[in-house]
Amino acid sequence: MGYRVFDHTADLGVEITGGSQEEIYAGASLALFDLLTNLSAVRETEERTLTVLGEGPEDLLVNFLREVLYLWNGEGFLIKRCTILEAAPRRLTVLLLGEPYDPARHRIRMEIKAVTYHQASVSRTDAGWVARVVFDV
């Protein structure tokens, strides 16, 4: 998983790198949950399929991460692995593997309140793909 955190006033920015656009989306969801908790403690006991729509790559990324964050905030579901089933220009379908939060085994590192459009970007580079997103913490 290739990501790095960058400084952003009162929020948390993340830059994700990958060899393909699909890797960017999968990596972004794992970066979110890696910041949220220790992924090595999360098991792959349940799966969820998720389809998200967007007007373009940045919109798709933000909408996807908002839905993924809802799985945590709304349902207490922690994600360990993300497999891209379909990546179209305006639609993303993924298979998510993880488990419900167990306070005896999972330590929450930080609260991520929301995914923002501020500085959201997805671009192709000579080395592959790069995405940036800012989380409201």
Token pair listed for 85: 């089933």
Amino acid sitting at position 54: G
In this predicted model, what pLDDT tens digit does every residue of 10-48 receive, in sequence order? 689 999 999 999 999 999 999 999 999 999 999 999 999
Amino acid sitting at position 16: I
pLDDT, position 68: 98
Tell me the pTM.
0.93
Kindly report the CATH number that applies to the domain delimited by 2-136.
Answer: 3.55.10.10
pLDDT, position 1: 58
In this predicted model, what pLDDT tens digit does every residue of 41-92 receive, in sequence order? 999 999 999 999 999 999 999 999 999 999 999 999 999 999 999 999 999 9
For 67-128, what is the HEC assignment?
HHHHHHHHHCEEEEEEEEEEEECCEEEEEEEEEECCCCCCCECCCCCEEEEEEEEEEEECCE
